Amino acid sequence: MSIPPPTSPANAQKNRKGLNRVWHAAGYSIEGLKAGWHETAFRQEALAALVLVPLAFWLGNSWVEVALLAGSVVIVMIVELLNTGIETAIDRIGPEWHDLSKRAKDMGSAAVLLALLLCGGIWVAAIAQRIFHG
């Protein structure tokens, strides 16, 4: 005896098309940003971005430099949200310690560290360029 396939997917978003899908996806994205705001690290990075992104327009000498400076800040925020998503999914599975859960969380944390190092390197190089090569 075979089980008939479900008539509709569990996620209603899968049935949406066109602008209706985009509209709902945007709503989910806003909810994700709100959830991220409750995380201390994301909130700190978002507040830093309020200073650094406008500063990128002053520090950058071309649109490429501005894009690298501002983009590196936004990448840190993106990676932080992804890391929080990983941590949240792992925590949903259960509070007990497991080597694979630790590995997933450590890798998410490492991704944030690499994004921060990339951002810091780009900013240090741009500031050094401004100071030493006027």
Task: Give the CATH number, domain containing residue 63.
Answer: 1.10.287.3610
Which residue is catalytic, options 36, 60, 65, 80?
80
More confident residue, 133 or 79: 79
The reply, when asked if residue 92 is annotated as ligand binding, is: no
Mean pLDDT of all residues belonging to the chain: 92
Inside any domain, residue 109: yes
Inside any domain, residue 28: no
The reply, when asked if residue 133 is annotated as ligand binding, is: no
Judged by phi (left if over 0) then psi (alpha if -120 to 50, else beta), residue 17 lies in beta
- Provide the residue type at 122 as one letter: I
Residue span of the structural domain in which 93 resides: 40-133
80-121 per-position pLDDT tens digit: 999 999 999 999 998 899 999 999 999 999 999 999 999 999
Inside any domain, residue 22: no
The reply, when asked if residue 128 is annotated as ligand binding, is: no
Number of domains the chain is built from: 1
31 given a catalytic annotation: no
CA–CA separation, 37 and 45 (whole Å) = 10
CA–CA separation, 70 and 56 (whole Å) = 6
Confidence of residue 8 (pLDDT cuts 50, 70, 90): low
Inside any domain, residue 115: yes
Contact 83/112 with Cβ under 8 angstroms? yes
Inside any domain, residue 5: no
Number of residues that this document lists for the chain: 134
pTM of the model: 0.84
Inside any domain, residue 3: no
CA–CA separation, 66 and 55 (whole Å) = 9
Inside any domain, residue 23: no
Inside any domain, residue 27: no
CA–CA separation, 83 and 87 (whole Å) = 6
